[in-house]
Chain A
Amino acid sequence: MKLNNHINHQKIWGLLDQVNDPEVPVLSIVDLGIVRDVQCSELNNTSVTITVTPTYSGCPAMDMIRMQIRMMLLENGFREITIETVLFPAWTTDWMSVTGKQKLKTYGIAPPHALQQVCHTDLFQQEEAIECPLCSSYNTRMISQFGSTACKSLYQCNNCSEPFDYFKCH
């Protein structure tokens, strides 16, 4: 029973890794770090509870992500699926996987820095040096701290002129 449970657990994490963020489809929800827990039932192999956390309070992708999780698990034989949403601890880009960061860069989005540079309220602060995902130059500038989605800022490379999104530290 214990062994079965363990195998089930591994299988579910594998399935969740195939569910992509609808707004940044190159990242899975596991890469993004928003899956916080997977609990399998001790009683049967088809009941499971998944705990997720939103990136930003108003992230419009959360409803779709919950639906995609449910579909993925249903297609793979799970029947009683509970999806819980927690707000605490608050999501941080520290939870993004190394693979996730590599995938982002290949996709043309600058990944968040490994060292968390928490946004504070100091005005006109020196921007972090962000690497251009196209030519790898650090000679880039911020266009706007708010980008196409809540989790990104808009940058431009001074070297190759490429405009790009930066997945901002949070």
Chain B
Amino acid sequence: MDTKQLLIEYTLHLADNALILGHRNSEWTGHGPVLEQDIAISNIALDLIGQARNFYQYAAVLSGDGKTEDDFAYHRDSTDFRNCLLVEQPNGDWAQTIIKQFFFSSYQYFFFSRLQQINDQTFAAIAAKSIKEVAYHVRWCSEWVIRLGDGTEESHNRIKTALENNWKFTGELLCPASYEKELSQLGMSVDLFDLQAAFEKKIEEVLSEATLPIPVGKNMIYGGKNGEHSEHLGSLLTEMQFLQRANPGCEW
């Protein structure tokens, strides 16, 4: 794969991460546990979809073959998507939603702080803009992890179950795919190894405050970054892409 193709893969990976979690969060709109939190998760959805659009627009520029952001979001099949497995997992209850967002926002925060320093003006600009939004997300979901973990017996058990169910997806966040490795050697992508210490410290701090033990199992599941997805992505795309599949190219 040439450098341009690697860069497109990488940009799509970043866009897909944000779009899929943004879409998952938007499933809560109108169904949140209380009005304020419905609004909060919808706001986070909006930020993520905005970040996804910025990355897709860049991928469209890079590909230079007339593709638009919509082609990437709506006209690709699940095996073409490069998002991590974590973000496509179903929302489940509020605890499951919160733990997914907590892992992802913590990763994104440290990731964007490094992407800002990459020698690529578009990446640096998207990162500088997004990190301000992600700072709010990290704080919000960290506080929720603590509130639930250090809350009632019911809330503690629910977030503990959610934590144990989703722990296996955290390894992929920091494990580089082949396109990341190759670009990183050229100094064109973030070296995920640089994030590891800060990410783990953040997770440990919040879980400890939340009186939650760090899961012991170290078996991680990988694949999403290379297009090997769980069945959940297919059903998500069926709904998200319905309109464009029924009426290709429609605009309103």
Across the interface, do A90 and B129 meet the contact criterion of CB distance under 8 Å? Answer: yes
Give the residues in chain A near B138, CB-CB below 8 Å: 121
Tell me the complex Cα distance, A90–B37, Å. 27
The CA-CA distance from A124 to B128 in the complex, in Å, is 24
Cα separation A154 to B78 with both chains bound (whole Å): 38
B61 at the interface (CB under 8 A from A): no
* A122 and B146 alpha carbons, distance in the complex (Å): 13
Other 18 A-B pairs with CB < 8 A, given A59-B50, A144-B40, A170-B132: A54-B50, A56-B46, A56-B47, A56-B133, A57-B130, A57-B133, A58-B47, A58-B50, A58-B53, A86-B125, A87-B122, A88-B124, A118-B135, A119-B139, A123-B139, A124-B143, A144-B36, A150-B43
A137: interface (CB < 8 Å): no
**Quick check: is A89 within 8 A (CB to CB) of the other chain?**
yes
Interface residues on B, range: 35 or more
Task: Tell whether A120 is near chain B: CB-to-CB under 8 Å.
Answer: yes
B121 on the interface (CB 8 Å rule)? yes
B135's partner among A87, A89, A119, A124 (CB-CB below 8 A) is A119
**Residue positions of B touching A, CB distance < 8 A:** 36-37, 39-40, 43-44, 46-51, 53-54, 109, 121-122, 124-126, 128-130, 132-133, 135-136, 138-140, 142-143, 146, 206, 209
Between A and B, 25 residue pairs with Cβ closer than 8 Å are: A54-B50, A54-B129, A57-B54, A57-B126, A57-B130, A58-B46, A58-B51, A87-B54, A87-B125, A87-B128, A87-B129, A90-B125, A118-B132, A119-B132, A119-B136, A121-B139, A123-B146, A125-B139, A144-B37, A146-B39, A147-B39, A147-B43, A150-B47, A154-B36, A170-B132
| A-B interface, 10 closest residue pairs, ranked by CB to CB distance from nearest | A58-B50, A57-B50, A88-B125, A146-B40, A58-B46, A87-B125, A144-B36, A146-B43, A90-B129, A121-B138
Interchain CB contact under 8 A, A57 and B109 = no
Q: What is the distance, in angstroms, from A70's C-beta to the closest C-beta of chain B?
A: 17
In the complex, how many residues of chain A place their beta carbon closer than 8 angstroms to a beta carbon of chain B? 29
Question: Nearest Cβ in chain B — how far from A150, in angstroms?
Answer: 6
Q: Does A60 contact B (CB under 8 A)?
A: yes
